Amino acid sequence: MSIIRRFHVLFIVVLVLIAGWASAFSADSPILDRIAANGVLRVGMSGDQAPMNAKARSGQLIGLEVDLAGLLAAAMEVKVELVTKPFPDLLPALKAGEVDIVMSGMTITRERTASVSFVGPYMVSGKSILTKSTILAAADEAGDVNKASLTVTTLENSTSQSFVEKNMPDVKLVTSKDYDSAVKMVVNGEADALVADMPVCVLSVMRYPGADLVTLTQPFTIEPIGIALSAEDAQFLNLIENYFRTLEGMGVTQQLRTKWLENDSWIAALP
């Protein structure tokens, strides 16, 4: 059964949740009130983290998180507005009320859960490296890459940056505002390796077949990826949690993972 057909079934399964959504506005839920008043669910993402979210040649955003955002908005019977911001600006935008949720390859960490809540995970990833060096790609642990002679790049304010600072203190670390810039540093020889989530590294190898890029067979770490929400609105958190669990239970999120992580046919749509 296709994702769309499964989603039609979803509405039958979650009628009780829809009723709960409709009655939630009487509770103390400023985010739900705002979404109902505007008829829009605002989802923050970087727009440059394929296969999670990326801009196609057409200018349209595509990816696993784009599809998931659309499903959540449809379940809430509102439109979805994808708000693109640099990755370091996404959680500040959530806290400032500029977006309602964030889905952008956001790792669920102890530090982040001190200020925001998470629903999920909808994917489990881990830290890997993208490089041209077969020696580095054969590393068993982060310490094997911890050499003062190496230049490593990561996404700014990401868990990858924290990972490098903790586990590779001797390398020269150069942070990047977006993944495209970071990957180009490796392709152009300006960095020996990019440390990033495994899907980003695997995709980059497929996306640039002539660049001699390689990545780890197994990531250094195991990390859950989830939906970030305000920690101050329990009603909204409960609603998103219920919808997500229903999608997960029906196998819809697994279909999304298969579509975007195991099938490379969509890569042709990228610039």
Question: Which helix (H) or strand (E) segment is 154 a member of?
Answer: strand 151-155
Tell me the C-alpha distance between 10 and 154, whole Å: 39
Q: Is 121 helix (H, G, I), strand (E, B) or coil?
A: strand
Q: Are residues 17 and 103 in the same domain?
A: yes
Do residue 185 and residue 246 come from a single domain? no
Give the pTM: 0.80
Whether 265 and 168 share a structural domain: no
Q: Quick check: 267 and 205 in contact, CB under 8 A?
A: no
Segment 212-252, tens digit of pLDDT: 999 999 999 999 999 999 999 999 999 999 999 988 988 99
189 and 210 inside one domain:
yes
Residues 111 and 9 placed together within one structural domain of the fold: yes
Contact (CB, 8 A) for 240 and 100 = no
Count of domains forming the chain: 2
| Residue 233 sits in the same domain as residue 118 | yes
Q: Are residues 158 and 134 in the same domain?
A: yes
Residues 101 and 115 in one domain: yes
Name the average pLDDT for the chain. Answer: 89
Same domain flag for 187 and 201: yes
- The residue segments making up the domain with residue 243 are 3-124+224-269
Q: Give how far the C-alpha of residue 53 lies from the chain's centroid of Cα atoms, to the nearest Å.
A: 7
14-63 tens-digit pLDDT: 544 544 544 544 457 899 999 999 999 999 999 989 999 999 999 999 99
Q: 215, 238, 253 — which closes off a domain?
A: 215
CATH number at residue 167: 3.40.190.10
**Are 154 and 143 in the same domain?**
yes
115 pLDDT above the threshold of 60? yes
Q: What is the mean pLDDT of residues 143-147?
A: 96
Residues 117 and 249 in one domain: yes
